[in-house]
Amino acid sequence: MNSTLNLLIGLAMGLNLLALGSSRLPSVIRAMAVQGVVLGMLPVVITREFHWPVALVALVTMGVKGFGIPALLRRAMRAANIEREIEPFIGFVPSLLLGAIGTIAAVAVAQRLPLLPEHAGTLLVPGALATIFTGFVLLVGRVKAISQVCGYLIMENGIYLFGMLLLHSTPLLVESGILLDLTVGVFVIGIIVDRIQRAFDSLDTRKLTVLRE
Amino acid sequence: MSTLLDILLRLTLWILLAPLLPGIINQVKAWVAGRRGPPVLQLYYDLSRLWRKSVVMSTLASPGFVAGPAVAWVALVGAAILLPIGPFGGGLSFKGDVILLVYLLAVARFCTTWAAMETGSAFEGMGAAREVSYAVLTEAALITAILALSVESGSVALDRMLALSAGTGAVLLAAGLFAVLLAENCRVPFDDPNTHLELTMIHEVMVLDHSGPPLAVILHGAALKLLLFAVLLSEAVLPMGRMSPLAATAALVGAVGAVTIGVGLVESLLARFAFRRVPLLLTIAFLLCLFALLLAWKGGPA
């Protein structure tokens, strides 16, 4: 079980770097969506026996993160008519290197943490830390609103990974609630992106710092 | 006496087989494009034709113009002798030979760029600058890959380093080394071996003013380098040490063939990348090798 788990989390960590390194918005969105699907499988892998509610939540998570939210983002992208990130605050090579350093640091830190014995052999904690860090880099380093939303969603994936540690004690209802909030959030952001595009003729968030009548 | 004979045999094998690889790549490209393509042995004909021609020298050029390609070729042949061939081991195996291998490759590159700048043409200087600036990144990836193999096997002799596979890290290592192979040999996503547009050439522009035997030596050296990297990649990934000699030989030949066909397919299906995207791709190759190193070091994922 642990090797499947580690393989899935390793895949998610690789997708982090893919999201950091690609300049095209569709590929960032795709990386985020695939990561959502990969992480959505985790509850089924962790609880060894088959439970209906767990399988249902896994399915809904995969559906929303892998297909629902990316579809909303793609729509916003088409409406705003942008394809790629041109001049990020943190360039692609530096952000890729930052992500790699963050991943290595996460693995190193997680080995020092006093974890439960059943979590010590897995990549759950380092994966969560690395994914949250990737989300931060995307949020801080990108200029376009849609990339920042992707950063926010990748950060949420990291928090979701942390939640997997407590899978046996938190009700899955909490995760469903978070999922609902997330969908509403992305929905609202889609509308805001459209408004920003109409008001400023660009999705560059640097232009949103000046107050005007 | 038998060692001498062994080395001579290896030399003939490496030198004779090397020009076959570009022929296979061209055949694959022609097949994908639906053309008939040049014969597989085309490079052999080209080499023998070039060997019979005379040399045109620039009035500015010093003897280094001819010495550069010669030294580069000898360095590449030396590197090939160091590399073990499947179950037969290395021709000259000693502790730390992998470091010599890296330096021999660097000497070959230095001599090619030096000979390129001998003509005094700004155009070739530009190609040399490009070649060297890519090399900074590819060498980092190559050295990281070698470190990963060395940590995995606990040895600095090529013989033992390449005997075992790197486990989970082997996939990462294979991807990283394949990108290094493409970059080092100036294949498509990094450079186009067929292009003759001044803005896009890297390797081709360096050898533009060479003619006759020196050009033949450069072309043969490039083919040798391609074979060398294909063998290195195959042996780094396949667990050679655990197979019977016959199976290992077959696996090695099959893997080198697969790598060659893979290069041909990449070349026909992918467009050349813009210059500013190349460092990003090479950084990814470096990171793949770095994560393979970490996996080897920590003994599997945490």
Tell me the percentage of chain B whose pLDDT exceeds 70. Answer: 95
Which pLDDT score, from 0 to 100, does residue A197 have? 75
Residue ranges in chain A modelled with pLDDT below 50: none
**Do residue B301 and residue A123 have CB atoms under 8 angstroms apart?**
yes
Per-residue pLDDT at B166 exceeds 60: no
User: Closest by alpha carbon to B201, among B95, B108, B256, B275?
Assistant: B275
**8 Å CB contact between B18 and B221:** no
* CA dist., res. B255 & res. B259, Å (int): 6
Angstrom CA distances, B267 to A195, B188, B193, B194, B232, stand at 44, 5, 10, 11, 20
Please tell me the predicted confidence (pLDDT) of residue B24: 93
Residue A187 touches chain B, beta carbons under 8 Å? no
Write down the residue that tokens 């080499």 correspond to. B47
What is the domain extent for residue B178?
Answer: 2-298
**Is the minimum CB–CB distance between A90 and chain B shorter than 8 Å?**
no
Under 8 Å between Cβ of B65 and B227 = no
CB pair distance less than 8 Å for A100 and B290: yes
Find the mean pLDDT for residues B63-90.
89
% pLDDT > 70, chain A: 92
DSSP 8-state secondary structure symbol assigned to residue B242: G
Place B301 in a pLDDT band, splitting at 50, 70 and 90: very low
On the question of pLDDT at B225 being above 70, the answer is yes
Both tokens of B179, joined, read 């990108």
Task: Decide if B280 and A10 are in contact by the 8 Å CB cutoff.
Answer: no
A140 close contact with B: CB closer than 8 A: no
Show the tokens assigned to A198. Answer: 């109409």
Residue A24, beta-bridge partner list: A84
pLDDT number for residue A170: 67
Of B115-129, B135-149, B189-203, B245-259, which range is least confident? Answer: B189-203
Of A21, A92, A123, the CB nearest to B302: A123
Cα→Cα distances B44→B23, B48, B215, B218, B299, Å: 9, 6, 13, 13, 46
Q: Three-state SS across chain A?
A: CHHHHHHHHHHHHHHHHHHHHCCEHHHHHHHHHHHHHHHHCHHHHHCCCCCHHHHHHHHHHHHHHHHHHHHHHHHHHHHHCCCECCCCCCCHHHHHHHHHHHHHHHHHHHHHCCCCHHHHCCCHHHHHHHHHHHHHHHHHHCCEHHHHHHHHHHHHHHHHHHHHHCCCCCCHHHHHHHHHHHHHHHHHHHHHHHHHHHHHCCCEHHHHHCCCC
Q: Please compute the mean of the pLDDT values over residues B140-155 and round it to a whole number.
A: 90
Chain B interface, mutation test: which of A92, A101, A109, A124, most B Cβ atoms within 10 Å? A92
Distance CA B231, CA B237 (A): 10
The highest-confidence range among B105-109, B114-118, B131-135, B277-281, by mean pLDDT, is B105-109
Closest residue, chain B, to A5 (C-alpha) = B301
State the pLDDT confidence band at B161, using cuts at 50, 70 and 90.
Answer: confident
Which chain B residues contact residue A121 at CB under 8 A?
A: 302
Using alpha carbons only, what angle is made at residue B150 by residues A121 and B251, rounded to the nearest 5 degrees? 95
In whole numbers, what is the pLDDT of chain B averaged over residues? Answer: 87
Tell me which residue of A199, A203, A197 sits closest to A212, measured CA to CA. A199
Residue B233 in this model has a pLDDT that exceeds 80: yes
Per-residue pLDDT, B302: 38
Q: Which residues of B touch A92 (CB under 8 A)?
A: 280
Q: In the prediction, which pLDDT does A166 show?
A: 78
As a three-state string, the secondary structure of B53-72 is: CCCCCCCCCCCHHHHHHHHH
What number is the average pLDDT over the span B172-194? 87
pLDDT at B43: 92
For B294, nearest residue in chain A (alpha carbons): A104
A45 touches chain B (CB under 8 A): no
| pLDDT at residue B83 is higher than 80 | yes
B280/A6 CB distance under 8 A: no
Residue of B nearest to A109 (CA): B302
* Phi and psi at residue A84, to the nearest 5°: -145, 160
> Taking CB atoms and an 8 Å cutoff, what residues of chain B touch A110?
302
Chain B residue with CA closest to A4: the answer is: B301
d(CA B181, CA B225): 9
Instruction: Say yes or no: B302 contacts chain A, CB-CB below 8 A.
Output: yes
A67 vs A31, A40, A59, B169, CA distance in Å? 12, 12, 11, 31
Quote the pLDDT of residue B49: 94
Tell whether B274 is within 8 A of chain A (Cβ).
no
Whole-structure pTM value: 0.84
Instruction: Let me know: does B142 contact B180? Beta carbons within 8 Å.
Output: yes
Contact B203, B127 (CB under 8 A): yes
B298:A107 CB<8 A? yes
- Smallest Cβ–Cβ distance between B283 and the set A97, A104, A123 belongs to A97
Distance from CA of A125 to the nearest CA of B (A): 11
Is the CB of B171 inside 8 Å of chain A's CB atoms? no
Residue type at position B187: R
Query: Nearest C-alpha of chain B: how many angstroms from A121?
Result: 6
Residue type at position A10: G
Phi, psi (degrees; rounded to nearest 5) at B137: -80, -40
Restricting to A residues 9-38, those with a Cβ less than 8 Å away from any Cβ of B are: 10, 17, 21
Please list, in sequence order, all residues whose beta carbon lies within 8 angstroms of the beta carbon of residue A172, skipping any fewer than 6 positions away: A43, A53, A54, A57
Domain count, chain B: 1
Q: Do B284 and A122 touch (CB under 8 A)?
A: no
> At B80, is the pLDDT very low, low, confident or very high (cuts 50, 70, 90)?
very high
Supply the ipTM of this predicted assembly: 0.73
Distance between CA A73 and CA A187 in Å, rounded?
8
Which of A197-206, B138-147, B224-233, B249-258 is least confident?
A197-206
CA proximity to B104, closest of B128, B134, B80, B140: B80
Rounded to whole angstroms, the Cα distance separating B93 from B96 reads: 9
Distance CA(B199)–CA(B245), nearest Å, equals 48
